[in-house]
Amino acid sequence: MLRVAEQYAATDTGRQRRANEDALLARSPLFVVADGMGGAQAGEVASQIAVDHFRGGVEQTSDPEHALAELARAANARIYERSHTHSEQAGMGTTLTAVYVGEGEVSIAHVGDSRAYLLRSGELTRLTEDHSLVDELMRQGRLTPEEAVEHPQRSVITRALGPEGTVEVDTLTFPARDGDVYLVCSDGLTSMVAEDELAATLASPRSLQAAGEALISAANAAGGRDNITVVLLRLEEVSVGAAAATGTDDDRRADGARAAATAPPTEQARSPLASRGGAGHDPDATVVGAPAVGGAVAPRAPRRPQAPAPPARARRFRVRRAVVALSVAAVLGLIGAGAYVALRSVYFIGTNDSGLVTLYRGVPFRLPFGLALYSDDYVSGVSAGSLAPARRHSLLDHSLRSQSNAAALIRSLELGQLE
């Protein structure tokens, strides 16, 4: 059977971000990378929720691929729910790539543009497809790989956990071999380091820690535009007896937790209020109709006289009042819906918390109780500090624009066509 013989996991903020919205889990035999989006107050929340849903591990099952997909869908539901109950986190989401090492196979669940690679016999194979705009255009033959590298919308993804109530999860399972090396990473690595350099670094005779640190350094040396997360694992073939004898402490703790979770509850656990007379018990109360101490029967509580039926005029008044209230609520709802549609049809250009030029949807205002009337629609790779003062003043003045006008300005800025 196969087991993880060596592993490395690390995440780095990069050189152009102030916060790290990536999250990871490296707990053999399960490895997860999530890359959050939505700003520092939302992206890191979404990625952490996704990773937390995998912390319990994958139960022993004949179909780990299905189990991974179910965990991903559960994480999606939780992120979607939270984004609709916390206004400051509206629209948040995250990518997810999860790898599970079985006895002879590896299973993967994937959403977004984080990636999983396999290095086998010196050859690097990409195991996942990016759910991104540029990859979709390349699959359609409308964009070359060279054009995709500098495309102004290269960071736009078409599928993630959180934005929608349901999500399609890509899964696959394939035979693993002794000596296989797997790389799970966020796009902060792959957008900065070419695949041939990834292959050369992983194939070099060095430890996984040295290889992982070299990959993060290479991404930062290339500009470090995004958060960088790298998870590496190497497999080895062992006999069944050896694997059982050398199980990790995490494995033994997980087995103990599963045993405790499936053990029959004690009498106290089944009835936590038994010593207090049961739920809602009052020791001084007398139960109506129950025999009292000594065999006497407690008197029944006197019945309260029923209130007379309201006259017809009062009933009609209440009906009219309810109709008026519903009408007012409907009018207010229509007004609110119209205002929402109007807010979502305008855009402006500003900077995010990391100082990057950002396209926002809505109007640049916050309500007194902190609700923002805008959300970020696209984050460019251009720092506002790199712009000339005159250009910065004219571009980042928060003027309301159409989507096409604002997107064209940012695209020209990223391509260096604006002075």
pTM above 0.85, yes or no: no
- Give tens-digit pLDDT for 279-293: 333 333 333 333 333
- Give tens-digit pLDDT for 192-218: 999 999 999 999 999 999 999 999 999
pLDDT band at 397 (very low <50, low <70, confident <90, very high): confident
312-320 CB contacts, 8 Å cutoff, 24+ apart: none
Q: To the nearest 5 percent, what fractions of the chain are helix, strand and coil?
A: 35, 25, 40
Mean pLDDT (the chain) is 79
pLDDT at 253 over 80: no
* Beta-bridge mates of residue 31: 26, 99
CATH architecture, domain 2-252? 4-Layer Sandwich (3.60)
Tokens, residue 200 = 């050369």
What CA–CA distance (Å, rounded) separates 172 from 164? 23
Tokens, residue 88 = 């400051």
Q: Are 219 and 185 in contact (CB under 8 A)?
A: no
Length of the chain: 419
Spans of all domains in the chain = 2-252, 317-419
pLDDT at 373 over 90: no
Question: Which class for 90: exposed (0-12), middle (13-18), buried (19 or more C-beta within 10 A)?
Answer: middle
Query: What average pLDDT score do residues 348-367 get?
Result: 81
pLDDT at 243 over 80: no
- Give tens-digit pLDDT for 386-395: 777 777 777 7
